[in-house]
């Protein structure tokens, strides 16, 4: 039990108890086919330090790695699908240290798999694209209030990364409250109207398509 908690104080204050790997894998096995689809999206609204998300990433990247070893993928094809895999994983976490650890775990695993396959041929741009995506997809926020914790005046936005053709990615950001049908969504729209697909046709912000190896802060005009 000790490995599932950081402190009794955190359990008392936040109800923080981490799921151990056996339970994580048993639950993910219930949707095993989806965890092995590169483009299948997963959102963990209380992701902790990433126990579920790291296992989902492992399963997705295992498919990419196996295709390289079977000589079905070139390096560029692996990079494309590895970025696609990491862009499909989302987490919201109330505690800042957990959110930071989650991003670090996912990026480290992504980097280890990539470097293990291609060694000196690895591209910094691929790792930086993964880093940037995780900065957007793993959010320091409160899934119950739909607000960010690190930026209390801002609503949580979820970025949809849609791959176009062989090398382009289209990013569209959506209000989390609207996606989950929050009754107090500030969008003014009927929450019952969007309970089908995860992403509706009404993004809060859209961006021009870019090459998947050029996904970074500079591309999107951020400091």
- Domain tally for the chain? 1
Residue 222 lies in a domain: no
pLDDT value at position 191? 35
Chain centroid to Cα 127, Å, comes to: 15
pLDDT value at position 199? 57
pLDDT value at position 198? 55
pLDDT value at position 22? 85
Separation of alpha carbons 160 and 198, rounded Å: 10
> What are 6-32's pLDDT values in tens digits?
545 543 444 444 567 888 889 899 999
Residue 48 lies in a domain: yes
pLDDT value at position 179? 77
pLDDT value at position 18? 54
Separation of alpha carbons 90 and 43, rounded Å: 5
Separation of alpha carbons 104 and 207, rounded Å: 26
Give how far Cα 129 sits from Cα of 24, 80, 84, 132, Å.
27, 11, 10, 5
Residue 219 lies in a domain: no
Residue 200 lies in a domain: yes
Q: What is the side-by-side order of every strand in the sheet holding 42-44?
A: 42-44, 89-93, 138-142, 147-148
pLDDT value at position 202? 83
Question: Which residues does the chain have with pLDDT short of 50?
Answer: 1-2, 4, 7, 10-17, 183, 185-196
Residue 221 lies in a domain: no
The closest of 28, 30, 118 to 82, measured between CA atoms, is 118
pLDDT value at position 177? 84
- Count of alpha carbons within 13 Å of 84, Cβ hemisphere only? 22
pLDDT value at position 220? 94
Residue 130 lies in a domain: yes
pLDDT value at position 78? 98
pLDDT value at position 172? 95
Q: What angle do CA 154, 181, 160 make, to 5 degrees?
A: 60
| Containing structural domain, residue 10 | 2-214
Residue 223 lies in a domain: no
Is the Cβ–Cβ distance between 129 and 65 less than 8 Å? Answer: no
What burial letters (b/e) apply to 127-140, b meaning 16+ CB within 10 Å? bbbbbbbbebbbbb
């Amino acid at each position: 039990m000790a490995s599932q908690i950081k402190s009794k104080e955190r359990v008392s204050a936040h109800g923080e108890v981490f799921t151990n790997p056996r339970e994580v894998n048993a639950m993910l096995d219930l949707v095993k086919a989806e965890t092995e689809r590169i483009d299948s999206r997963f959102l963990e609204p209380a992701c902790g330090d990433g126990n579920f998300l790291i296992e989902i990433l492992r399963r997705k990247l295992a498919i990419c790695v196996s295709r390289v070893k079977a000589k079905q993928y070139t390096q560029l094809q692996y990079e494309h699908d590895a970025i696609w895999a990491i862009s499909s994983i989302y987490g919201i976490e109330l505690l800042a240290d957990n959110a930071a650890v989650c991003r670090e775990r996912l990026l480290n695993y992504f980097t280890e798999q990539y470097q293990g396959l291609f060694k000196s041929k690895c591209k910094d741009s691929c790792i930086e694209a993964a880093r940037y995506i995780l900065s957007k997809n793993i959010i320091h926020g409160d899934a119950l209030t739909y607000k960010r914790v690190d930026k209390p005046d801002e609503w949580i936005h979820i970025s949809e990364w849609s791959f176009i053709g062989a090398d382009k990615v289209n990013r569209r950001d959506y209000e989390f409250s609207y996606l989950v049908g929050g009754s107090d969504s500030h969008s003014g729209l009927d929450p019952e109207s969007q309970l089908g697909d995860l992403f509706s046709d009404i993004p809060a912000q859209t961006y021009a398509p870019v090459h998947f190896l050029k996904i970074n802060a500079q591309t999107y005009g951020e400091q």
